[in-house]
Amino acid sequence: MFNNVSNMTTDEFSIESVLERVVERDPDQPNFHQAVHEIMSDIIPFIQRSGNEHYKGVINRIIEPDRIIQFKVPWENDQRVYCVNRGFRVQFNNALGPYKGGLRFHPNVRLDTMKFLAFEQIFKNSLTGLPLGGGKGGSDFNPKGKSDSEIMRFCQSFMSELVKYISADMDVPAGDIGVGEREVGYMFGQYKRLTSQYHGSMTGKGLAYGGSKVRAQATGYGVLYFVREMLAMNSESLEGKTLVISGTGNVAQASCEKALEMGARVIAMSDSDGYVYDPEGIDERKIQWIREHKNERRGRICDYAAEFGADFGEGSPWHIPCDIALPCATENEIGEEEALTLIANGVSCVAEGANMPCTDAAVRQFRLHNIAFAPGKASNAGGVAVSGLEMAQNSQRLSWSFKDVDDNLIRIMKRIHRKCLKYGQDGDYVNYVRGANIAGFTRVADAMLAQGNV
């Protein structure tokens, strides 16, 4: 039985006891277990120190999703063969507002993946200060190698089922890995066709039909705005710093673009095939080439090496010496070994652009060696923040300027940094993981308590 955590004694109320119950209920979900352990490692000691019995009662409710939706997605490929994929939507917690979180199309998508991402999303959305709950969804559909017609048919079939569970005031999906403006457009068009409603039921839309300026750049820009605040704690700036960035998608591209604007030098980027090392620096001309080559022709990073005479290698770029590392690709890409290599090579700051790209063991090493480390729920919250701003614009039937949205994004990232400092300051060192976890939790927990048994 999954016992009520609020009935535990102080000795029984522990990280181990909570995780034990999570594993007992869902033994085949290691990613979700990792997410719960990472957050509860800070929340449980905080509750024990505070002696807040009411917060104890929230724990067993906050680790269980409100609902899990799984459905089949039948579609026809260009060879007139019928295919079937699985679709998911995990609506985890709406204490603060409508469920909010992206849709991911990737062959590795499983319920475990969706639950861990949705759980993280609760606290990330809380940190923004916006009225957003936490959710996540997607499918094991692989858009790579598919024609536009195939992707359109899949998206329309996917939305034909998802439409039952979303709306502007209930659940507002967005894009994620494998889901860009094209896919959002196909899904939004199907939603509109089925409901006869034109409102903010999705974010990440094109600018021509309700999208927000800065949305494509928001996550990457937000990472750099957060890093700027981290460096300012030691009276430093990004000027002259060398950066290594994993990934070549929107987040990595925007991170590189903003880093250059702030005077830094990006010397490496990567994709699933490998990485390029360009000691001269990936400048604006080169990042534009990556953007055009990847987005329009779906090229690979190895083509960059051939084009600009850079070094290409298989695997990850974390052995390359740098001042700042920005993992912007996927979860668990930096383990303990990669973390120790970065530390040995002089890294001083690591900020997550992807969702949980660093393992618990890696984060532990950063903390032991006093490396400034920002978890994704804080540093990459810019994407969902601008999604929230897109929702506000849609509700008001307005379109804000690029500068207005960007200024709001800067203010939100500064606010998140201040919240992390409130609970994460530990002498001269800032434990951003602890600060983000506790700040995110307290806002959600207070809302849940105020609303009763939710």
Beta bridge partners of 426: 429
Separation between Cα atoms, residue 216 and residue 251, nearest integer Å: 8
Q: Which residues contact 264 (CB under 8 A, 6 or more apart)?
A: 238, 239, 240, 241, 242, 243, 324
Q: At what angle do helices 53-62 and 30-50 cross, to 10 degrees?
A: 170
Q: Which residues pair with 430 in a beta bridge?
A: 425
Burial class of residue 132, CB neighbours in 10 A (0-12, 13-18, 19+):
buried
The residue type at 202:
M
Contact 200, 385 (CB under 8 A): no
DSSP-derived pairing of the beta strands 311-313 and 274-277: antiparallel
Report the distance separating Cα 221 and Cα 224, nearest Å.
Answer: 5
Residue 65 has φ and ψ, to the nearest 5°, of -65, 150
User: What is the number of other CB atoms lying within 10 angstroms of the CB of residue 148?
Assistant: 9
Which of 115, 124, 136, 377 is labelled catalytic? 136
CA pair distance 32, 65, nearest whole angstrom = 12
167: which strand partners? 171
Other CB atoms closer than 10 Å to residue 40's CB: what's the count? 24
Query: What are the tokens at 5?
Result: 């955590």
Cα 84 to chain centroid distance, Å, stands at 27
Nearest-angstrom CA–CA distance, 93 and 60: 13
Residue 123 tokens, joined? 């606290």
136 is catalytic: yes
- Helix (H) / strand (E) element for 76: namely strand 67-76
Using DSSP, state whether 128 is helix, strand or coil.
helix
* Residues taking part in catalysis: 136
